[in-house]
Amino acid sequence: MAESQQVCKNCGNEFSGKYCNQCGEKVYTDHDKSVLHFFEDAVHFFTHFEGTFFNTLGAIFTKPGKLSLDYCNGIRKRYFKPLSFFMLLVILYLLFPMFSGLNMPFKYYLNEKEYARQWTAKKTGINLDSVSTEINKVIVSKNFNSDEDAFQFGLRYADTVMRSFPKFQKLETKFNKTSEKTSKILLLILIPLAAFVLFLLSIRKKKFYFDQLVLATELNSFFILFSFFIVPLLITLVYRFVPKEWYFIFSDDGVSLFSYSVLALFGFFAFKRFYNDKWWWALPKGFLVSGSLYLILMIIYKNVLFAVTFYLSK
């Protein structure tokens, strides 16, 4: 007996069966509208989420490159979509910022970037070069015994001076607050940029650019997991057992070197599996990609972050 024809409520197409053959919309029955089914959907979501989440997490940490290789080969049911997984990590990092990481304060840019001082001067009407000159004169007049003492005094005195400029204070407060969010969201730009690096280093493999994007997403997912979740936890634990004399090991430079070295090793194993690279090429390639990501973060990401955050800080 032929099934009765249905009219899709989503697209108006006539079809037979449980799903529209044009848009995929499901035909809902009385059971689908029951209270029991409502809670069944919730249970299905959490069990499905738990399974795919831990499968994805396990693949990344135990078999680098497998998630990307499987996904590109059409084996997807057991995993989170790579980009969805990356976005989930970004949201978790936004909600639980264990480590300031790439979110630099407004004063960092003023000290490091000439254009930041120029934009700030134009927006606030403050001649920052003149203010800086006056602050330096006061520091020199104090005749400190060490550079460290002079530096610490300079920070405190500069902070006191800048408090006398309400427009600057308002801009700084707004910038720092906005940057907490934009610094996480803009992590998305790392994926296409890292994919381009992978494309250049693997051009002979003749992979689709889609494949490079998938692997770049896995690499950056690991980078976020390790650098902004695992490393802060490790540092917190180590501080409990290591004497204070050894704290210098955990300077920003030391932590960065450690994180990017681990990322390079992750890349080494991922490239062997994903591209079938020989070890003698996968190893330097891992460090090249890790170093490239560092340059992308320092040169492109931070400048884009400042420009976007500054524009939004109105």
Q: Tell me: the pLDDT tens digits for 223-276?
A: 999 999 999 888 888 777 777 767 666 777 888 999 999 999 999 999 999 999
Question: What's residue 33's pLDDT?
Answer: 61
Q: Tell me: the pLDDT tens digits for 182-196?
A: 998 999 999 999 999
pTM, two decimals, is 0.82
Q: Who wins on pLDDT, 56 or 132? A: 56
Question: What's residue 17's pLDDT?
Answer: 82
Angle among Cα 150, 152, 156 to the nearest 5 degrees reads 115
**In sequence order, what are the beta bridge partners of 6?**
15
Mean pLDDT estimate for the chain: 87
Residues 28-57 have a mean pLDDT of 67
Residue 10: pLDDT over 60 = yes
Q: In this structure, are residues 60 and 222 in contact, taking their beta carbons and an 8 Å threshold?
A: yes
Instruction: Enumerate the domain spans of the chain.
Output: 6-51, 82-102+182-312, 127-164
State the residue for tokens 């000439």: 114
Q: Tell me: the pLDDT tens digits for 281-305?
A: 999 999 999 999 999 999 999 999 9
Q: Decide: residue 70, CB within 10 A, 0-12 exposed, 13-18 middle, 19+ buried.
A: middle
Question: What's residue 296's pLDDT?
Answer: 97
Nearest-angstrom CA–CA distance, 112 and 302: 11
Nearest-angstrom CA–CA distance, 118 and 130: 12
Nearest-angstrom CA–CA distance, 160 and 148: 19
Nearest-angstrom CA–CA distance, 267 and 290: 8
Question: What's residue 248's pLDDT?
Answer: 66
Among the ranges given (21-35, 36-50, 273-287), the one the predictor scored with the smallest mean pLDDT: 36-50
- Sorting pLDDT into bands at 50, 70 and 90, what band is 1? very low
Nearest-angstrom CA–CA distance, 119 and 38: 54
Indicate the SS3 state at residue 201: helix
Q: Tell me: the pLDDT tens digits for 197-225?
A: 999 999 998 899 999 999 999 999 999 99
Q: Tell me: the pLDDT tens digits for 72-91?
A: 999 988 898 999 999 999 98
Indicate the SS3 state at residue 313: coil
Residue 26: pLDDT over 80 = no
Q: In this structure, are residues 11 and 25 in contact, taking their beta carbons and an 8 Å threshold?
A: yes
Residue 131: pLDDT over 70 = yes
Question: What's residue 39's pLDDT?
Answer: 58
Q: How many CB atoms lie within 10 A of CB 293?
A: 23
Sign of torsion over alpha carbons 211, 214, 220, 223 = negative
* Cβ-based neighbours of 212, under 8 Å, separated by 6 or more: 195, 196, 198, 199, 202
Indicate the SS3 state at residue 38: helix
